[in-house]
């Protein structure tokens, strides 16, 4: 996470992907959302869905985005899941907010994980 967690960092890696400055393997795009493969997949299917607007985390998005953006964004997640077929086999969505969650990239994103049986929700041993 950036030092000032309340200010959107325009140089974060997903902002650069949105501006086309660095590549991604695009899975889906619409007016409000972009989805692409995670560079370090934790399951056979591991896709990140991000809003095109500048939101730091789920907390920021849910507080500041318009209803239209929020509805469209969450519909885009299920659309992506359908597109890759995990709506039938099952999938998990995760979004990390802030330090305790280990959010690494300070642009709101939802992970879609699936394509194989997933383990426990949380790795045991966290304090």
Q: Interface with ligand AMP by CB under 6 A: which residues?
A: 13, 24, 38-40, 48, 96, 102-105
Whichever of 88 and 102 has its CB closer to ligand AMP, that residue is 102
Smallest distance from ligand AMP to CB 24, Å = 5
Whichever of 37 and 72 has its CB closer to ligand AMP, that residue is 37
Residue 109 is among the residues annotated as catalytic for this protein? yes
Tell me which H or E stretch contains 68: helix 67-84
Burial class of residue 121 (count of CB atoms within 10 Å of its CB; 0-12, 13-18, 19+): exposed
Backbone Cα Rg of the chain: 14
Smallest distance from ligand AMP to CB 32, Å = 19
Token pair in block for residue 68: 């239209």
Q: Which residues are catalytic?
A: 109
């Amino acid at each position: 996470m950036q030092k000032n967690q309340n200010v959107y960092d325009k140089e974060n890696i997903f902002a650069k992907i949105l501006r086309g400055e660095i590549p991604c393997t695009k899975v889906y795009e619409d007016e409000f959302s972009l989805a692409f493969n995670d560079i370090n997949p934790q399951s056979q299917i591991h896709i990140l869905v991000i809003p095109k607007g500048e939101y730091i985390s789920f907390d920021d998005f849910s507080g500041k985005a318009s209803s239209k953006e929020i509805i469209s964004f969450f519909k885009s997640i299920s659309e992506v899941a359908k597109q890759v077929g995990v709506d039938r086999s099952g999938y998990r969505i995760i979004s990390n907010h802030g330090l305790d969650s280990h959010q690494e990239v300070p642009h709101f994103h939802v992970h879609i994980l699936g394509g194989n049986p997933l383990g426990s929700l949380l790795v045991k041993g966290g304090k």
